[in-house]
């Protein structure tokens, strides 16, 4: 094994370990706690993790071992299992990502537009039927790989597990149906749901900013009115008694302003009863100027915790959709080019693209639902 092949094998092994760790962690963290039942998003995450783990254990691991060995040494029987699991897990993973995107789009719209009303994908029965259908489609498209595979040698010393269809027309027909029904349609659904999520988030952000600006303007007006009323009261109070030098006038000035005669207020605590000055002052202060209005930050409604969680999860879905779209488009172009001109290098690059997707998205979803860190409380 030369240096280039060794580097490729090390990279593939690192991707395999990252995928094993991430998908197992996603499955474990999605298991329901002791005090709560299983929910739709947990079912979808577990299904996605299982789909990716099939790729990790039965596709990436044998491929990594073959890379280090320099040839396919697992036999033709396992070659059929290898090719079958490759398309099975990939198709199931695509549909799982589509269902997760649709679910969080519905939850986000239900939270921001309909006050958190239940959505259709909250039904475990419906989700179970959808997942069963997706696995059926995945099995149907994976069965041909059981019969049309072979171990072929690229040179004198290296062998690969490849698909061998009876004819070029059979291969092209299979690729057209597979890429259309099991790839293009769910990918279009993922893109549509992600675009709708982005639009909903932007509209909600603009709505919040509009409410905040309106509240700020109202508070500025109320504060200015309150300041003017207080200034008018002080001016009328000071100018009312006049500028007489008579001590009685001075005493009446104090009485008007504070509501308490200046010479009749004994210090508090000299008698057993509370001072009448305090009572009178409290009565007058209750009828005086209104308290300072709250700041705009105090009026602004704080979003609920569930709404923040749904927004964060929806953003993670958009991030997954971007990664998925890049990987899928690259993989699609490589498969189309491989149908035109068969190249072992193209097949190898396509397998790397698929492996990169399965080892990245678990961490994005775990971050989105705040389960990336370990927590002992379930």
Averaged pLDDT for residues 328-350: 69
Q: What are the tens digits of pLDDT across the range 94-126? A: 999 999 989 888 887 766 666 666 778 888 999
How far apart (Å, rounded) are the C-alpha atoms in residues 322 and 246? 84
Sequence-ordered alpha helix ranges (H) in the chain: 3-30, 40-55, 61-69, 75-112, 124-142, 144-147, 168-179, 185-239, 247-258, 276-286, 296-299, 305-340, 344-368
**Reported confidence tier of residue 243, pLDDT bands at 50, 70, 90:** very low
**Reported confidence tier of residue 197, pLDDT bands at 50, 70, 90:** confident
Nearest CA to 196 out of 121, 106, 299, 288 is that of 106
Q: Within 13 Å, how many C-alpha atoms sit on residue 219's CB side? A: 15
Q: pTM of the predicted model, to two decimals?
A: 0.70
Averaged pLDDT for residues 71-89: 87
Domains (ranges, CATH) in the chain?
Answer: 3-212+304-368 (1.20.1070.10)
Looking at residue 306, its pLDDT comes to 60
Q: What are the tens digits of pLDDT across the range 141-160? A: 999 988 888 887 765 556 77
24 has pLDDT over 90: yes
295 has pLDDT over 60: no
Averaged pLDDT for residues 293-305: 47
288 has pLDDT over 90: no
Q: How many CB atoms lie under 10 A from the CB of residue 316?
A: 21
């Amino acid at each position: 094994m030369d240096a280039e092949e060794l580097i490729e094998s090390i990279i593939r092994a690192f991707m395999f370990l990252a995928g094993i760790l991430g998908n197992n962690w996603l499955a474990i963290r999605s298991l329901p706690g002791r005090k709560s039942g299983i929910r739709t998003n947990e079912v979808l995450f577990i299904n996605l993790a299982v789909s990716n783990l099939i790729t990790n254990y039965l596709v990436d691991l044998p491929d990594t071992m073959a890379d280090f060995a320099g040839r396919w040494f697992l036999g033709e029987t396992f070659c059929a299992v290898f090719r079958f699991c490759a398309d099975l897990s990939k198709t199931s993973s695509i549909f799982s990502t589509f269902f997760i995107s649709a679910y969080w789009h519905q939850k986000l719209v239900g939270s921001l537009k309909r006050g958190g009303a239940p959505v259709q994908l909250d039904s475990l029965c419906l989700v179970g039927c959808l997942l069963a259908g997706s696995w059926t489609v995945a099995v149907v498209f994976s069965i041909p790989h059981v019969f049309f595979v072979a171990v072929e040698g690229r040179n004198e010393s290296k062998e690969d597990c490849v698909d061998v269809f009876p004819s070029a027309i059979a291969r092209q027909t299979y690729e057209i149906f597979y890429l259309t029904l099991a790839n293009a349609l769910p990918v279009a659904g993922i893109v549509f749901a992600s675009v709708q999520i982005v639009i909903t988030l932007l509209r909600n952000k603009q709505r919040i900013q509009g409410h905040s600006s309106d509240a700020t303007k109202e508070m500025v007006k109320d504060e200015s009115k309150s300041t003017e009323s207080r200034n008018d009261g002080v001016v009328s109070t000071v100018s009312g008694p006049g500028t007489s030098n008579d001590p009685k006038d001075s005493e009446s000035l104090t009485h008007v302003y504070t509501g308490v005669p200046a010479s009749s207020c004994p210090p508090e605590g000299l008698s057993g009863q509370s001072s009448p000055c305090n009572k009178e002052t409290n009565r007058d202060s209750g009828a005086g100027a209104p308290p300072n209005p709250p700041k705009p930050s105090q009026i602004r409604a704080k979003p609920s915790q569930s709404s923040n969680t749904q927004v964060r999860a929806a953003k993670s879905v958009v991030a997954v959709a971007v990664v998925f779209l890049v990987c899928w488009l690259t993989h699609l172009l490589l498969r189309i080019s491989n149908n035109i001109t068969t190249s072992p290098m193209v097949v190898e690059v396509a397998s790397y693209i698929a492996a990169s997707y399965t080892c990245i998205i678990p961490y994005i979803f775990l971050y989105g639902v705040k389960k990336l860190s370990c927590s002992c409380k379930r």
